[in-house]
Every structure is written in C-alpha cells, then in structure tokens.
Homo-oligomer: A and B are copies of this chain.
Amino acid sequence: MMQKTFDFFIPYNRFMNEQGKLEQALPEWSRDQERLIEAYETMVLIRNFDQKVVALQRTGKMGTYPSILGQEAIGVAVGQTMRKDDVLIPYYRDLPAQYLRGVRLVETLLYWGGDERGSQYQHCPEDFPNCVPISTQMCHAAGVATAFKIRGEKRAAVVTCGDGATSKGDFLESLNVAGVWQLPMVIVVNNNQWAISTPRKVQSAGQTIAQKAIGAGIEGIQVDGNDYFAISDAVQHALEKAHAGKGATLIEAISYRLGDHTTADDATRYRSKEDLKAGWEKEPIQRLRHYLLSQNLWSESQEKELQNKSTKIIETAVSDYLNTPPEPPESMFDHLFADMPAPLIEQRIDVKSLAGPGGTQQGSH
C-alpha cells in the first residue's frame, strides 16, 4: 500500500563499557595522554566541588543548587573540545564545561549564592550565563550561530540541555532552524533520565531523543554519555562539522542523575533505590579511572595529589565566595539599561537611602 519510503537512522556509540573495558578501538585523538589526564582530573575536581556546594547549601551558606553528580563526563568533553572562540550556551548543569572554559569556581558560587556577579565571567566574555527557563537557551544558540554565519566566522555555538528540555517548543524550533540555515551549532543533550521527578519515558515516546534531529533534517547521534571517549568523540565530530560549515548536530548523551534534582528536591519520593544503584554502576569517573590505571596513565599517588590539590582549589574558591560582600542594594538599577532612565534614578535614590549606610552590609549568604 505504500509506493516508496524515506529511510533514516540514528547511530549509537560507545568505546568503553561500565568497567572501563574497551568495546572497540579508541579514536586517534585519544593518544593525547594529557587530554585524558586533564579530563580525569577535572571530573574529580568538579565532583568534589559539587559535593562541597551541596554541603554549603545544607548549612545555609548557599541557595538552591543543582548537583551534577554522575554527569561530569559530558561537560568535560564539551569544555575540552570547544575552541576558545566558540561560544558556550549552557543550561544550569554544565559546571565542568564552564570550568574548562574559564568560568571561575567563585563565580559559580556567587551565582548560586544569589549574586548576579556570578554571571559576569572574567575569562569567557562571550559565553552565556546559566539558563534557568528550560530550553529558552536553544534559540539563543541559534542566534549566536547565525551571527557567526552572517559574519562568515568559523566558530560554533555549543548549547546544552536536559532530556526534559527536549519536549519544549524552543528546543524543536531551534533544531529546525539549525537545519534550514545549516547553522554551526552543536546541541548536547544530557539525558540523565529525569526531569525533576518525571522519568525519561514520560518526556517522549521516541526510542531515542537523538531522533528528534530527523524531523529537523540534521544529524542525530546517541552516545553513552558516561563514556568519556564516546561523548568526546561525538562532540569533536560535531564541532569539526560546524567549523567546516557543514551544519548542526544533535548529540544525545545518556547519563544518570545520581543526586537530587536540586538541593530543594528529595528524589527518594519518586525514585527507587534499585534505580539509583543501577545508576551508580554506570557513573563516568570510575570507568575512566579503571581505563587510565589499566594503561598505566594514572597511579594511586597521583590520585592522592589530585585530591589534595582539589581540596585547596575548592577551599580558596569557597573562602573567596564567603568573603565577597553583597553588592549595594541600589545596584539593582545599575545594569538594567545602558543609560539609566530618569524614573529609575529616582527609585535608585530611594533604595539607597532606605538601605542606609549599613545597607550594603545587610545581604547575607
């Protein structure tokens, strides 16, 4: 009853299994040992830092915070692979990528600690800040990629989001324009199986999320996002393509959210112990560690040193954060417009006088 068919497919890839054993030969680039070491070290640092932020929240020194526990490989792959002059348009669970791009840990702390200066990024002036309204950043990425295209620059816009985000219109509208305009755009979905309490299967009836690329006429790839090699390889492929003017790629990186959604969430309400346990068996750090150890690229003494170094870095960042006084209250007006309109000048005076001389001290963590 049909006359012809249009055929499509979505590849799945991984190199390394849950035990850090190779399932296929590694790609060429993986000979770069420094890169592998950096990846491992970053994942460990970020995991330690992440757990520190959660602890700060528990003791009232931090706002609501979304832990990235168990999803470190994805961000590390993104951060390592991007060129400096590419632009990262992150969501809110992209700490490793941001760190590798130059966002300082103290900035991360300030942001989640309720201080706008946390998005003022000293070292990556063009990267976007964390994006809270789900999927809205996808459209920004399309715009950034369009800007590159208009100016004929060989740069890429790299945008990330979660599995839940792929249900929202913005995501799909952006994929679509990325196809039509052949935009230099890399879309990395951290499919951590949950959107707060909503499991992946409630988001979409598709076997994969990557297949959403088909409707947009762009390439879609699914990889094991806990396999550092698989996700790095996919991002590298997508970036090369983008830099070469060959259009956009959607990468679905399968991971697992080992923590609560945020510190305001309690995942035991909706998630079984077994599910969580299965998640832990797939986490990315042990895997890479096993691999590095097996290749004699890593040792217990290095591990110890790394832990020490991490602790120091984290302690410095935390104390910088805790020692940063809040902005004066009247700063709420100072960056709204390039030129402050008259009515705001009046309101600013109000706030300043209400806060009084001690006003700038009132804010707290």
Contact = CB atoms under 8 A, between A and B. Distances in A.
Contact of A203 (B9, B167, B180, B208): B180
Contact of A169 (B27, B168, B204): B168
Interface stretch (A50-58, A83-91, A213-221, A286-294): A213-221
A346 interface: no
A176 interface: yes
A10 B1 contact: no
Interface in A1-31: 1-14, 23-24, 27
A170 interface: yes
A308 B200 CA distance: 59
Given A214-B206, A215-B214, A176 B170 contact: no
Sorting the interface of chain A by its residue count into under 10, 10 to 19, 20 to 34 or 35 or more gives 35 or more
A141 interface: no
A180 B207 contact: no
Given A169-B172, A176-B167, A5 B11 contact: yes
Contact of A12 (B3, B23, B176, B179): B3
B4 A11 contact: yes
Interface in A120-173: 167-170, 172-173
Contacts of A23: 3
Contacts of A222: 6
Chain A interface main SS type: mixed
Contacts of A208: 6
Interface centre among A2, A204, A215 (most CB of B within 10 A): A215
Report the 3 A-B pairs with minimum CB-CB distance, sorted nearest first.
A169-B169, A205-B217, A179-B205
A233 B1 CA distance: 10
A211 interface: yes
Contacts of A169: 168-170, 172-173
Contacts of A180: 201-205
Contacts of A215: 172, 204, 206, 211-215
A218 B215 CA distance: 12
Contacts of A205: 176, 179-180, 182, 216-218
A121 to B, nearest CB: 30
30 contacts: A1-B24, A2-B12, A2-B13, A3-B12, A3-B13, A3-B23, A4-B11, A5-B12, A6-B9, A6-B222, A8-B9, A8-B10, A168-B169, A168-B173, A169-B169, A169-B170, A169-B172, A169-B173, A172-B173, A176-B204, A180-B201, A180-B203, A180-B205, A182-B205, A204-B215, A204-B217, A205-B217, A206-B214, A213-B215, A214-B215
B5 A9 contact: yes
Interface string A21-63: 0011001000000000000000000000000000000000000
A6 B10 contact: yes
Nearest to A12: B4
